[in-house]
Amino acid sequence: MIPAAARYLLLLAATCAAWQPSKAVAAEEDTQFWLNAVATGEMVEGTTVTIDTSQRWRGNAVGGDLQNVRVTLERALDDDTRIGGGIGLFEAENGFSEVRVHQQAVFTPGRFELRSRLEERFFDSADRVELRLRQRILYRQPLGRNWRAAAGGEWLVLLQARSHGRNFSTDQWRAQVGITHTLNANLEVGAIYWLVLSPNGIRRDRINHIPQATVTYRF
């Protein structure tokens, strides 16, 4: 049986999915579905490797389906602080490809997780490398034995766009809510909903509704 708190969180997620921002009438919207698989574990004491992959089913308006794989190494400085970085490869159905390098610092006071990530994004035929800063805050809440919930938000800001003439600007706002169930010492499954708003200047903003399923293996 799912605990009452978990049922409440699922209701909250459904409410978020149904909610439309006041600008929605002037925005382009789509719905995607992502399937995420993650493997993470300690290589040596204090150093963790995480490999995450995803299959993203998306509409043609945003480039079609996309696959990615990303590897991240992190080093624990103390009980609450980690630093690290990694690289990711992204391939879309329309032939679009990206190589993404990132560096990050993560601070985990209590049930909160604060992450600051800098990305260098390399695109085919781009004028230059794109620099993007991502600032995320996440709160995790235990819901009883083997269940926990999470909610948070993220601001993604362009420090340097891939094209000349556009620099510092907001790339996306993201809000998320999710629930995770621990099956055993090594395996977790979860469901997440993201609401993503991409401002687009004088043109219509874009809104993405992204339900996701996740599988995490800890070794």
Say how many domains are in the chain: 1
Does residue 42 lie within any of the structural domains?
Answer: yes
Does residue 149 lie within any of the structural domains?
Answer: yes
- The residue to which tokens 């929605």 are assigned: 24
Q: How many CB atoms lie within 10 A of CB 89?
A: 14
CATH of the domain at 202: 2.40.160.40
| Counts of helices then strands in the chain (DSSP H, E) | 1, 12
Q: What is the pLDDT along the chain (219 residues), one digit of tens a residue?
A: 445 544 544 444 444 444 444 444 456 999 999 999 999 999 999 999 999 999 999 999 888 999 999 999 999 999 999 999 999 999 999 888 999 999 999 999 999 999 999 999 999 889 999 999 999 999 999 999 999 999 999 999 999 999 887 778 999 999 999 999 999 999 999 999 999 999 987 678 999 999 999 999 999
pLDDT at 149: 98
Range of 160's domain?
A: 27-218
pLDDT at 164: 85
Does residue 10 lie within any of the structural domains?
Answer: no
Nearest CA-CA partner of 193 in 173, 208, 172, 171? 208
pLDDT at 27: 62
pTM: 0.85
For residues 68 and 119, what is the distance between their CA atoms, to the nearest angstrom? 15
Does residue 154 lie within any of the structural domains?
Answer: yes
Does residue 15 lie within any of the structural domains?
Answer: no
Does residue 20 lie within any of the structural domains?
Answer: no
pLDDT at 22: 41
Does residue 11 lie within any of the structural domains?
Answer: no
